[in-house]
Amino acid sequence: MTLLLAQMQAIPQSVDYVRILPELVLSIFGILVMVLDPLVDEEKSQKTLGYIGFIGTIAALLSTWYMAQSPGLAFSNIVRVDSFSIFFTCLVIAIAAVVILSSFEYMAVQRIRAGEYYALILFSVVGMVLMASAVELVMIFIGLEISSISTYILAGFRRHEASSSESSLKYFLLGSFATAFFLYGVALMFGATGSTNIDIISQKLQSGSVGLLVYAAMAMMFVGLGFKVAIAPFHIWTPDVYEGAPAPVVGFMSTAPKAAAFAVLLRVVFAINAPGRFWFLWVAAALSMALRNAGALVQSNVKRLLAYSSKAHAGYLLVAFAMTTQENSATGISAAMFYTAAYAAMNVGAFAVVSHFANSGERFVNLEDYEGLGRSSPLLAATLTIFLLSLIGIPITGGFFAKFYVFSAALRADLVWLTLIGVVNSAIGAYYYLRIIVVMYMRESRKQVPVTPVPFGLATALAVSIFATLYLGILPNRILQLAQHSAQDLLPQPPAAAAQMPQPAPTSVH
């Protein structure tokens, strides 16, 4: 007890604050938006708040760069800055920046008072960044809650629509249930190993025998995280939630919280070197890939369709998790990280187009509304096509290399059947993305669907997404090397190397 007290009294050094600088910057800008919201003019100033939010994300990106100069542990080993956490920090902040840019127009068209919208995005990003960088399960839980609660509210932002409230409520009820599972898992893990620190748990599990309690703890944590990343069989919520939530929010919550949750999952699976995970992950991956095809083929709502697709992508990503040996794990982790980045780029972009096209009250989100878009708005259609091709996994897009890395990692680990299930599903899955392309280019429009010009903010957001999608598809080297580097940081060091590392101070209560 005294030990814990001593630690709690330990005064944080200034470097500790540097190591959570992005979180601080984002929180400050979030608070700023909230404070300014009642003060500024109703009609005109909504955009100003949005710009403040956008500047906040840019400032956070810059502060991440500053933070990256001083890697290490902070706040009594709760947070660690390493290339792994920096990768995900940059990713979620970048997603938020693009989403904020693409929301300006949406908010104006939907006549939603948007002040707290931008603040909530910033706050949820704070939670995600904490999830990515925390090495303490309790801190991860807090990060998870911060990000989830903000996202629950964001899902219900179309206040006057019943479907949006439904979406928010469903997401909230099921989501809190899932986080409870996660917390229960953390508690069991603490019971089994006497610690909630990932490094210590990892050492304990490597040295000692693994009891039943550890398996139960892993299963609980997996359920909680599985819900967040929407893998089968914890995915049933996605279509309803995605359908009701505002389109830019869907773009946000199908990428950023998932990226953060995958970061946690990577830590839990690989840094702890979770025992007994193999078949668990195998089955979940196979189910996620296969189940969505059944559902997605009959969807006519584009948002629902993309919801089903996000489930499948979570399945492909999960393939990279089913690695067991040290060497394969590194490939698996880097493949998963690359996939997260590529998926973020293409999905945010696709939803930005969908949210622009939805028009007021989200009237135009059905497949038949996209008929003839190739003629009435060729540039927008071409943009969406690039994202869809990337989601299919066609060469020169990021989606191709993402799938490629995942499946080659799986084959290197001799997961031949899982790979076959994956590649066949990705080919079948091409059909429903193709449907969107088909209606855009090969059918004449039967309905009068207004096409408004693309405003500057959205154009920038789309340009960034396209650039990222193609960059990852043509020159994937750099990002992959970053991911490989991070994978080395994440994996527990072999005992010989670990002995030379400074021992993390124990946080257990004895």
Partner 1 sequence: MNTDHLSPYILTLVTFVPLAGALLLVLLPRRDRDIRIFSLVVSLLAFGLSLHLPVHLHRGQPGFQFEIDKPWISSPNIHYHMGTDGISVWLIVLTTFLTPLCVLISWKSVRDRVKEFFILLLILETALIGVFTSLDLFLFYFFWEATLIPMALLIGVFGHERKVYAAVKFFMYTMIASVFMLAAILWLYAQTHSFDFVTIRDAIANHQVANFPAAAQWLFLGFFIAFAVKVPLFPFHTWLPDAHVEAPTAGSVLLAGVLLKMGTYGMLRFNLGLFPDQARSNAPWIIALALIGIIYGALVAMVQPNMKKLIAYSSVSHLGFVVLGIFSFTTAGLNGAMFVMLAHGVSTGGLFMLAGVLHERRHTYEISEFGGLASPMPVYAASFLFIVLASVGLPLLNGFVGEFLVLSGAFQAKPLYGTLAATGVIWSACYLLWMFQRVFYGKVTHPVNNSVSDLLGFEKAAIWPCAVAALVMGVAPIMWLAAIDPAVQAALTPFAQVVSKVVVQ
Q: List residues near partner 1 by CB under 8 A.
A: 374-375, 389, 394-396, 400, 404-405, 407-408, 411-412, 416, 419-420, 423-424, 426-428, 430-431, 434, 438, 441-443, 475-477, 480-481, 484
| Calpha distance 55→62 (Å, rounded) | 10
Min dist. Cβ of residue 351 to partner 1 (A): 22
| Calpha distance 324→88 (Å, rounded) | 23
Min dist. Cβ of residue 433 to partner 1 (A): 11
Give me the residues paired with residue 74 across strands.
Answer: 79
Nearer to partner 1, 440 or 458 (CB): 440
Nearer to partner 1, 282 or 407 (CB): 407
Nearer to partner 1, 62 or 442 (CB): 442
Distance between start and end Cα atoms, the chain: 6
133, 85 Cβ separation under 8 angstroms: yes
Nearer to partner 1, 67 or 336 (CB): 336
Min dist. Cβ of residue 416 to partner 1 (A): 7
**Helix, strand or coil for residue 28?**
helix
| Calpha distance 188→194 (Å, rounded) | 9
Min dist. Cβ of residue 443 to partner 1 (A): 7
Nearer to partner 1, 179 or 426 (CB): 426
Min dist. Cβ of residue 327 to partner 1 (A): 12
Nearer to partner 1, 270 or 407 (CB): 407
Q: What is the DSSP letter of 269?
A: I
Burial grade of 94 (CB within 10 A; 0-12, 13-18, 19 or more): buried
Distances (CA, A) of 424 to 222, 225, 289, 416, 505: 26, 26, 10, 12, 48
Q: How many CB atoms lie within 10 A of CB 421?
A: 19
Q: What is the DSSP letter of 377?
A: S
Nearer to partner 1, 3 or 442 (CB): 442
**Helix, strand or coil for residue 77?**
coil
Nearer to partner 1, 56 or 429 (CB): 429
Nearer to partner 1, 210 or 438 (CB): 438
Min dist. Cβ of residue 274 to partner 1 (A): 24
The residue type found at 418 is L
The pair of three-digit structure tokens given for residue 165, joined into one six-digit string: 């409230």
CA angle 322, 265, 286 (to 5 degrees): 40
Nearer to partner 1, 244 or 393 (CB): 393
Nearer to partner 1, 345 or 421 (CB): 421
Find all residues with CB under 8 Å of 287, minimum gap 6, and list them.
Answer: 231, 232, 233, 315
Query: CB under 8 Å, gap of 24 or more: what pairs does 138-145 form?
Result: 138/186, 138/196, 139/78, 139/79, 140/264, 140/267, 141/179, 141/182, 141/183, 141/186, 143/260, 144/179, 144/182, 144/224, 144/228, 144/261, 144/264, 145/179
Give me the residues paired with residue 435 across strands.
Answer: none
The pair of three-digit structure tokens given for residue 164, joined into one six-digit string: 């949006």
Closest by alpha carbon to 182, among 211, 151, 209, 148? Answer: 148
| Calpha distance 259→61 (Å, rounded) | 16
Helices (H) and strands (E) in the chain, counts: 23, 2
Min dist. Cβ of residue 483 to partner 1 (A): 10
The residue type found at 320 is A
Query: For residue 292, how far is the Cα from the chain centroid?
Result: 19
Nearer to partner 1, 10 or 475 (CB): 475
User: What H or E segment, with its residue span, contains residue 81?
Assistant: strand 79-81
Give me the residues paired with residue 80 across strands.
Answer: 73
Nearer to partner 1, 314 or 487 (CB): 487
